[in-house]
Chain A
Amino acid sequence: MQVKMGIFLCDCGGSLKNIDFPRIGGNLENLEDVAFVDISHNLCLGEGKKAMTSRILTENINRVVIAACSPEFCEGDFAVLLEKLRLNPNLLSLANIREQCSWAHEGDVSAKALALVMMAVDRARLLEPVETKEVAVKNEVLVVGGGFCGMKVSLELSQLGIRTTLMERESTLGGQIRELEGFYGPQREAMIKAVEKAETIEIITSAEVTGVEGKIGDFTVRIKKGKKKILRTFGAIVFATGYKTEVAAGDFPIKPGVNIISQQRLAQLLQAPTPEAKPETIGFIFDLFDENSRFPTLATLNGALAVKQRWGSEVYVFCKNVKVDSEGVEKLYREAREQGVVFFKFDEKPTISADDDRVKIEAKDVLLGEDVTLTCNLVVAEEKFLPSEGTEGLSSLLKIKTDSRGFYQEENVNIYPVSSERKGIFFIGNCRGDLGLGRVLTDIFSVVSRIRELLSPGVVEEVDRVKVDSQKCVACLTCIRVCPHSAAQLVQIDSEKVAADISQLACDRCGICAAVCPAKAIKFEGYSDEQILAQIEAIGAL
Chain B
Amino acid sequence: MNGEIIAFCCEHSAYVAADAAGKQGLHCPENLRIIRVPCAGRVDIIHILKAMEEGAAAVLVLGCEDGLCQHLTGNIRARERVNYSEMLLKEVGIDGRRVAMFNLAANAPHKFIQAVNEMNERMKELGEGK
Contact = CB atoms under 8 A, between A and B. Distances in A.
B25 A103 contact: yes
A501 to B, nearest CB: 19
A99 B22 contact: yes
Contacts of A540: 1, 53-56
Given A99-B22, A105-B27, A109-B30, 12 more contacts: A71-B36, A99-B18, A99-B19, A105-B30, A412-B68, A414-B69, A414-B70, A508-B70, A510-B42, A529-B47, A536-B54, A539-B33
Contacts of B68: 412-414
B22 A72 contact: no
B71 A485 contact: yes
Interface in B21-54: 21-23, 25-28, 30, 32-39, 41-44, 46-47, 50-51, 53-54
A529 B42 CA distance: 9
Contacts of A116: 33
Contact of A104 (B21, B35, B54, B67): B21
B72 interface: yes
Contacts of B69: 412, 414
B122 interface: no
B100 interface: no
A123 to B, nearest CB: 9
Interface stretch (A164-172, A240-248, A511-519): A511-519
Interface string A505-542: 00011111011100000001011010011011101111
A535 B21 CA distance: 23
B71 A539 contact: no
**Residue from A101, A119, A485, A511 having most chain B Cβ neighbours under 10 A:** A511
Given A105-B28, A106-B27, A414-B70, A512 B54 contact: no
B71 A508 contact: yes
A542 B2 CA distance: 8
Interface string A82-123: 000000000000001011110111100100100110010000
Contact of B34 (A98, A100, A109, A482): A100
B77 interface: yes
A539 B54 contact: yes
Contacts of B30: 105, 109, 112
Contacts of B16: 72
A503 to B, nearest CB: 15
12 contacts: A99-B18, A104-B26, A115-B33, A116-B33, A509-B39, A510-B38, A515-B41, A515-B42, A524-B42, A536-B51, A539-B51, A540-B1
A410 interface: yes
A59 interface: no
What are the 10 A-B residue pairs with the smallest beta carbon separation, nearest first? Answer: A540-B54, A511-B42, A99-B22, A510-B71, A103-B22, A510-B39, A512-B41, A515-B44, A99-B19, A104-B22
A515 B35 contact: no
Interface string B60-77: 000000011111111001
A509 B44 contact: no
Given A72-B19, A112-B30, A539-B6, A510 B41 contact: yes
Given A96-B34, A524-B42, A510 B55 contact: no
A527 B67 contact: no
Given A510-B74, A515-B43, A527-B38, A533 B1 contact: no
Interface string A22-38: 00000000000000000
Contacts, number: 130
Interface of B: 1, 4, 6, 16, 18-19, 21-23, 25-28, 30, 32-39, 41-44, 46-47, 50-51, 53-56, 67-74, 77, 81
A156 interface: no
Nearest to A115: B33
B43 to A, nearest CB: 7
A253 interface: no
Contacts of A208: none
B32 to A, nearest CB: 8
Which of B6, B27, B38, B39 is most buried by chain A, counting CB atoms within 10 A of its CB? B38
A469 interface: no
Contacts of A349: none
B22 A509 contact: no
A443 interface: no
Contacts of A103: 22-23, 25
A263 B41 CA distance: 47
Contacts of A536: 6, 35, 47, 50-51, 54, 56
Interface in A405-429: 410-414, 421
Given A106-B27, A484-B73, A509 B38 contact: yes
A105 B31 CA distance: 10
Nearest to A512: B41
A70 B19 contact: yes
A4 interface: no
